[in-house]
Structure 1
Amino acid sequence: MTDCPPQPKTYDLVLGGQNLPLSGAVLGGLDGVKQRLATAQVQQKINALHQALHYGQPGLELIVETLKDADPQIQKSAYLLLRERSEPEVKRALATVNPYEYLTRIDTLNGHKGLVLCVAFSPDGQTLATSGSGDKAIAMWDISSGKKLKTLQGHGDWVNAIAFNPQGPTCASCSSDGTIKIWDTSSGNPLGTLQGHTGAVYSLAYTPDGRTLVTGSADCTIDIWDLSQGRRSGSASLQRTLLGHQSRVEGVAVSPDGKIVASSSWDRTIQLWDLETGQSFQTLRAHQGLVVGVAFSPTGKHLVSYSTDTTIAVWKLFGRGLGTVATLQHTLCGHEERVNSVSIAPDGRTLIGGSRDGTISIWDLHRGELLGSVRSHSGWVNSVAYTVRTTYPQSRQKMLLASGGFGGAIELWTI
């Protein structure tokens, strides 16, 4: 009794009838996959990679080899097929790959008129808050479904920034109408309105304990608001006003230990302040243009500033409190126009930048190395936000990036 010859599988392509003559050409099978991978047509090669999954270990080895293909599209297709595999040889191969080269847009949310000015994730990464210019409103999105939960309305002008309270079910927003509003994130109802600035309010940040809110304004000042008596009710008292900048304060940030405030201004400087005393103890200069914003790394070891001069400056922080000293570590030059926003990953190593040139850049913050870049939206990228906890259905990774730009659109990205 002789062995039966190998028969084509249901996913094989066969030239001829079911009864194969000896001279018949089998275009399917692993040989067929190899043949299509050798072609010059990108789509044929991508289709072949998907077919290779049907052929066990040999097929897997073909996909691993294709990670080194000269065409970035082919590399990305191979990476996406392998990223969830657990085989040791696949993990070894993926360890040599920079995943940020394969940032992929997974959805676009439409819910605003005009520019999207701000995107911000809740502390648990399950809710995204966004603001628009044309509608002067805040939208809350459920990340698990991509659906809009509610719309928060009450400001009389552009909503420039949003921040979630890290310790409670509230968030704060600031507007060009000169006010700051505190909102109940569950109901979407306004809890209180803070009025202290005499100009547009461009930025705000909570302290880690949620008891203090810091705001920066076109009136060149920084206000410190005490929320300790009404964190859930929205009531607040103006604790102090910090004076020192010579032009509008466009960015504020609070250090992870809650002791330092950093501010950025159109006077081209960054100032470091002691939150308890309100004393300015260091002025930083590195940018040739207006300084748009600042951000502390989650580890507290770095401060980042970004500017209309198209650069991002990375400052290394030494010491504590009033003894903190900032020294310039890197100047990141990867954008062609002003940098509008940055977000830093919780590990303190990965920096995301969004620019008016329409691109999102991904950097290794410690080494100052560009890891990847992707074009987003039809125009400016006004705001970016990064989270690592999501149940978004198409996102297989914990990392999720949101970006806001022209046309009222919010884009969601993953690797």
Structure 2
Amino acid sequence: MVSITSVELNYLVFRYLHESGFTHSAFALGYEAGINKSPIDGNLVPPGALVTFVQKGLQYLELEANLSNSDADVDDDFSFLQPLDLITKDVYELRQIIKEKKENLQKERAKDKEKEKDKELDREHERERGREREKERQEKEKEREKDRERIEKDKEREREKEKEKQHEDHIDREQIRDREDKSTIKPEDNGVCGGPEPMDICVNSPSLPCEIPSSDVAILEGHTSEVFACAWSPAGSLLASGSGDSTARIWTIPDGPCSSSMQNGPPNVLVLKHFKGRTNEKSKDVTTLDWNGEGTLLATGSYDGQARIWSRDGELKSTLNKHKGPIFSLKWNKKGDCLLSGSVDKTAIVWDVKTGEWKQQFEFHSAPTLDVDWRNSNSFATCSTDNMIYVCKIGENRPIKTFSGHQGEVNAIKWDPTGSLLASCSDDSTAKIWSMKQDKYVHDLMEHAKEIYTIRWSPTGPGTNNPNQPLVLASASFDSTIKLWDVEQGILLHSLNGHSDPVYSVAFSPNGEYLASGSLDKCMHIWSIRDGKMVKTYTGGGGIFEVCWNKEGDKIAACFANNTVCVMDFRM
């Protein structure tokens, strides 16, 4: 008996079918099933195996015919079947297997498409967020660039003004030297530096003003750069000063004459550092400072855009950080619970002193905010290089009053003692007086020849400690003069013509009878309000940026460009 293996039989079947014209893939599948998944055990193929394969091949043809209505490729449909299924299952079962597997495949593909769609949406959202972040970054960079350009323009303007001042100073010095050559009288040195002749200092007075002797002057040294600001505490004998050396200082000035206090050694001083490192940082110049009404807290504003609150003992209480540019002005309100600051970033901010957080930011100006001043405990005014003045109120999102009329940068604003009139001064060489009762200015004061840098109201008139004296406004200009104005009639009372350089600061004595003025010509003059005459003068070692009186009115402080602060006794 001849035996034949299953492989040999399958091959013979394949050859038979192929040579008989059955070349369709269905018979190839039958052949592959016979080779790989034959249900027959052993190598011997029993009789009937050939018939079984041929029958399966015919069944595949029938299955293919039933599947021909589908859009899918027939070979793909057969790929859902296992060779063992082809041998052991009939056509109906095979169709069910293919149908179920196709449906499952479609569901899987649908799920995959949904997942891919979700992923694509996530990717698109992330790309959108990225585009928004990039847009915000570009806008912030543009804003920072604009701020840098504005600051650079401001610096360039200051440089031009300084060049103009130096040129005028040179001409004035030549004239003084010519007069000195013709004169045989020489002024006495006051112990600090040589000054011009008294006759040159006070050209509008028939009598010579009294030079403040060096024995009545205490020179406070310690700052290592220009001293820009100074202010007496309203309670006690503390004097604060702010400098370009990134520090503020609180000096304890003893009562009594300056000569006796200096004999006891230098005054006690607290150094308020505005930097953390060992070296000074120019960006942290102290530009402005102000005591609260009780004299318990000192606020400082810095070029780094931060305001800081200190105790009278020199302890840093809080750092107020929201401005994006240098702070040029800050003021306490009368209640002492809020601090107001104005910045180069065009905004003004009201701070809650108790929490150290900002209460409201006012973004009305289109250019740097130069000055701010409270009208009462919840409303205030702001002015800017955009020529505009706004009156604002805490809780309101728009100005409650708008004053327009200046044709140049508005440098300073001040409410009168009762909060009913607002004075302003500008680069347009005018000072103006405004009332909340009308939109247009009440008075337009036009006697100055150059920019007006600052203004001050006298502490006189109704509602003050000096109600029997008339209210007066003082204006100080780059034309080297100070002018005193009758604010009721809007007319000039006196023109004080004793300085030879721009006047940066003026301050009234507490009794309203005298005015102190400080100029870049290194001179501090004291004037009588009654007749406009100069009564005292002092020449220091540098230009004067600010002058101020103590609450008793017997001492005057002045801060200088030569890094010193001077305290002078005032006696008539």
Q: TM-score, normalised by structure 2?
A: 0.46
User: 1:157 and 1:149, CA in 2 relative to 1: closer, same or farther beyond 3 A?
Assistant: closer
Name the residue aligned to 1:162.
289
Q: Which amino acid aligns with 1:356?
A: L
Shift of 1:215: 5.1
Shift of 1:266: 2.7
User: 1:186 and 1:147, CA in 2 relative to 1: closer, same or farther beyond 3 A?
Assistant: closer
Does residue 385 (structure 1) correspond to residue 548 (structure 2)? The answer is yes
User: 1:192 and 1:120, CA in 2 relative to 1: closer, same or farther beyond 3 A?
Assistant: same
Residue among 184, 200, 203 paired with 2:311: 184
Alignment of 1:132-143 (within 5 A): 132-133=243-244, 135-143=245-253
Q: Distance in 2 between matches of 1:204 and 1:106?
A: 29
Given that residues 270 and 313 in structure 2 are in contact (C-alpha distance below 8 angstroms), is that contact kept between their aligned partners in structure 1? Answer: no
Does residue 106 (structure 1) correspond to residue 217 (structure 2)? The answer is yes
Name the residue aligned to 1:38.
none
Q: Distance in 2 between matches of 1:236 and 1:119?
A: 26
Q: Distance in 1 between matches of 2:304 and 2:439?
A: 28
Name the residue aligned to 1:295.
456
> What are the superposed Cα offsets for residues 339-364 of structure 1, whole Å, 9 maximum, x if unpaired?
11112110011100111101110101
Name the residue aligned to 1:363.
527
Alignment of 1:212-291 (within 5 A): 223=348, 226=350, 230-238=352-360, 240=362, 241=364, 242=382, 243-244=388-389, 247-273=408-434, 281-282=441-442, 283-291=444-452
Shift of 1:289: 1.4
Q: Distance in 2 between matches of 1:307 and 1:353?
A: 11
Q: Which amino acid aligns with 2:253?
A: I
User: 1:369 and 1:169, CA in 2 relative to 1: closer, same or farther beyond 3 A?
Assistant: same
User: 1:204 and 1:402, CA in 2 relative to 1: closer, same or farther beyond 3 A?
Assistant: same
Identity score, percent: 27
Name the residue aligned to 2:559.
404
User: 1:382 and 1:147, CA in 2 relative to 1: closer, same or farther beyond 3 A?
Assistant: same
**Structure with more strand by fraction:** 1
Given that residues 168 and 210 in structure 1 are in contact (C-alpha distance below 8 angstroms), is that contact kept between their aligned partners in structure 2? Answer: no
Bigger relative CO (Cα 8 Å, ≥ 6 apart)? 1
> What are the superposed Cα offsets for residues 94-126 of structure 1, whole Å, 9 maximum, x if unpaired?
xxx999654544321112112111111000241
Shift of 1:294: 1.3
> What are the superposed Cα offsets for residues 341-400 of structure 1, whole Å, 9 maximum, x if unpaired?
1121100111001111011101012321111222112x21122111144xxxxxxxx611
Q: Which amino acid aligns with 1:250?
A: N
User: 1:147 and 1:370, CA in 2 relative to 1: closer, same or farther beyond 3 A?
Assistant: same
> What are the superposed Cα offsets for residues 20-59 of structure 1, whole Å, 9 maximum, x if unpaired?
xxxxxxxxxxxxxxxxxxxxxxxxxxxxxxxxxxxxxxxx
> What are the superposed Cα offsets for residues 205-245 of structure 1, whole Å, 9 maximum, x if unpaired?
444444565555557x784x545xx3444444347554345
Q: TM-score, normalised by structure 1?
A: 0.62
Q: Distance in 1 between matches of 2:308 and 2:517?
A: 27
> Which sections of structure 2, spanning at least 5 residues, go unmatched?
1-184, 189-206, 255-265, 276-280, 365-381, 383-387, 390-405, 462-470
Given that residues 205 and 252 in structure 1 are in contact (C-alpha distance below 8 angstroms), is that contact kept between their aligned partners in structure 2? Answer: no
Name the residue aligned to 1:147.
268
Q: Which amino acid aligns with 2:225?
A: G
Residue among 161, 170, 193 paired with 2:320: 193
Name the residue aligned to 2:302.
175
Q: CA RMSD in A?
A: 3.5
SS of residue in 1 equivalent to 2:479: coil
User: 1:303 and 1:121, CA in 2 relative to 1: closer, same or farther beyond 3 A?
Assistant: same
Q: Distance in 2 between matches of 1:194 and 1:296?
A: 32
Given that residues 268 and 290 in structure 1 are in contact (C-alpha distance below 8 angstroms), is that contact kept between their aligned partners in structure 2? Answer: yes
Residue among 223, 228, 231 paired with 1:117: 228
In the TM superposition, structure 1's runs of 4+ consecutive aligned residues that sit over 6 Å from their partners are 70-73, 276-280
User: 1:112 and 1:72, CA in 2 relative to 1: closer, same or farther beyond 3 A?
Assistant: closer
Q: Distance in 1 between matches of 2:344 and 2:529?
A: 30
Q: Distance in 2 between matches of 1:222 and 1:280?
A: 24
Shift of 1:160: 2.1
Q: Distance in 1 between matches of 2:502 and 2:220?
A: 25
Q: Which amino acid aligns with 1:351?
A: L
SS of residue in 2 equivalent to 1:131: strand
Q: Distance in 1 between matches of 2:333 and 2:440?
A: 18
Name the residue aligned to 1:345.
509
Q: Distance in 2 between matches of 1:271 and 1:216?
A: 21
Task: Kindly tell me the number of residue pairs found equivalent between the two proteins.
Answer: 301
Given that residues 330 and 341 in structure 2 are in contact (C-alpha distance below 8 angstroms), is that contact kept between their aligned partners in structure 1? Answer: yes
Name the residue aligned to 2:484.
314
Q: Distance in 2 between matches of 1:181 and 1:277?
A: 36
Name the residue aligned to 2:494.
330
User: 1:168 and 1:132, CA in 2 relative to 1: closer, same or farther beyond 3 A?
Assistant: closer
User: 1:252 and 1:200, CA in 2 relative to 1: closer, same or farther beyond 3 A?
Assistant: farther
Q: Distance in 2 between matches of 1:122 and 1:314?
A: 26
Q: Which amino acid aligns with 1:381?
A: I
Q: Distance in 2 between matches of 1:354 and 1:142?
A: 23
Given that residues 217 and 568 in structure 2 are in contact (C-alpha distance below 8 angstroms), is that contact kept between their aligned partners in structure 1? Answer: yes
Does 109-118 or 282-291 show the bigger shift?
A: 282-291
Q: Which amino acid aligns with 2:268?
A: K
Given that residues 315 and 330 in structure 1 are in contact (C-alpha distance below 8 angstroms), is that contact kept between their aligned partners in structure 2? Answer: yes
